Structure 1
Amino acid sequence: MTVRYYAAARAAAGVDAESLEVPDGGTLASALEAARAVVRSPEPGAPQLADVLRRCSFLVNEIAAKDPLRRLAAGDQLDVLPPFAGG
């Protein structure tokens, strides 16, 4: 699966996107756990990815995903969206 990071999540991950292996029957929660387990090189001063993920919302194949038990497939795309400020 492809994971794309935006804004503060990108800074914490140190990459715009990455591929993660999702086992058969994997869930949103297990994909996020796999993302947390990757050794990272965040941007200087960026928070830890685990801290950012607690505040994020997620899109799976461009559809909002709120259920941590939502099933994922190997070809899915997961977008990680931290809270945005402004207006």
Structure 2
Amino acid sequence: MTTTVRVRYFAGARGAVGLAEETVSMPSGATVGDLLADLGTRHGEKLTRVLTACSFLLDGVAVRDRSTALPADAGLDVLPPFAGG
């Protein structure tokens, strides 16, 4: 059984991937950390570096614990640090 996750990329993460969003299938019971590892494998070193500085929203809620399980039909926003004023 799998769960589908809609991943939305912002700022530097979008630049590293070259996409605004994508849909990823993960095995049931997968965690945020599992998803991030999969994304790094898919998109390479540039995204892996960006992910180390990112914060994440899982279904609109900040998630810091990468062992958090992915719910069915989840949405994950990948938010690099923003600059500006």
Render the CA deviation track for 1:7-66: whole Å, top value 9, x for unaligned: 0000001100011112111100000011111146xxxxxx80000000000000010000
> What RMSD in Å do the two structures reach over aligned CA positions?
1.4
CA distance in structure 1 between the aligned counterparts of 2:72 and 2:20, rounded to whole angstroms:
19
Report how many residues are paired.
81
Contact 1:9–1:82 under 8 Å retained in 2: yes
Q: Where in structure 2 are there 5+ consecutive unaligned residues?
A: none
1:77 CA displacement: 0.2
CA distance in structure 2 between the aligned counterparts of 1:27 and 1:62, rounded to whole angstroms:
16
CA distance in structure 1 between the aligned counterparts of 2:25 and 2:47, rounded to whole angstroms:
18
Q: Where in structure 1 are there 5+ consecutive unaligned residues?
A: 41-46
1:54 is aligned with what amino acid? T
1:53 is aligned with what amino acid? L
* SS of equivalent to 1:18: strand
Contact 1:3–1:77 under 8 Å retained in 2: yes
Identity in percent: 42
1:73 to 53, 71, 74: 71
* SS of equivalent to 1:21: strand
1:46-57 mapped onto 2 (5 Å cutoff):
48-57=46-55
Contact 1:28–1:72 under 8 Å retained in 2: yes
